[in-house]
Amino acid sequence: MGTITLRKLTRADGVEIKITIEAEEIDYRDQFDDPRDVAIIADRLARGEVEAWCCVTVEARWNGLKGYAHLGGCSLEAAVGTASREPLYTPLACAQEHGMLDEALDDLNATLASMATTIAPLVTATATAG
């Protein structure tokens, strides 16, 4: 038995999705044409809003295996502490808009396929009584 054929995992298989944000290292001042945008980001960062200029990472996890998608240079809406107004552009909205959930799942599937190729020489077929 030389190859193992796998179907692709889906979220229905119990794949867990985790979305995190971190401060972006790239200088935001070089990324905007309008000085008003730069001022808004600077003000938000001064208030401690990491979401103002950040990186979004999506992690897809299944049975100890992980796949990732990463996007930098994001400016998200800060969380609003009232029930009457939801944030306009959340980490989840960013991840969905940029296809990051599927990208992380694809990366997880690629990891799983690589592992299957690696272990294929170790797998032996056994006959079952029918």
Q: What are 51-88's pLDDT values in tens digits?
A: 999 999 999 999 999 999 999 999 998 655 444 455 57
Query: What does the pLDDT read at residue 82?
Result: 43
Please report whether residue 65 resides in a domain.
yes
Per-residue confidence (pLDDT) for residue 84, from 0 to 100: 43
Which residues, given as ranges, of the chain have pLDDT below 70? 1-4, 78-87, 125-130
- Say if 72 falls within a structural domain: yes
Angstrom distance (rounded) from CA 19 to CA 4: 31
Q: What is the pLDDT of residue 47?
A: 94
Instruction: Tell me, yes or no, if the pTM score tops 0.75.
Output: yes
* Owning domain of residue 78: 13-119
How many residues comprise the chain? 130
Sign of CA dihedral 91, 22, 100, 36: positive
Whether residue 1 lies inside any domain: the answer is: no
In this predicted structure, what is the pLDDT of residue 87?
53
Q: Does residue 8 lie in a domain region? A: no
> Is 86 within a domain?
yes
Tokens of 108: 């997880």
32 lies in some domain: yes
Dig out the tokens for 21 from the structure: 């944000």
Which is nearest to 4 in space by CA: 129, 127, 125, 130? 125
* Structural domain includes residue 18: yes
Number of domains in the chain: 1
* 43 is a domain residue: yes
Buried b (16+ CB within 10 A) or exposed e, 52-72: bbbbbbbbbebeeeebebebe
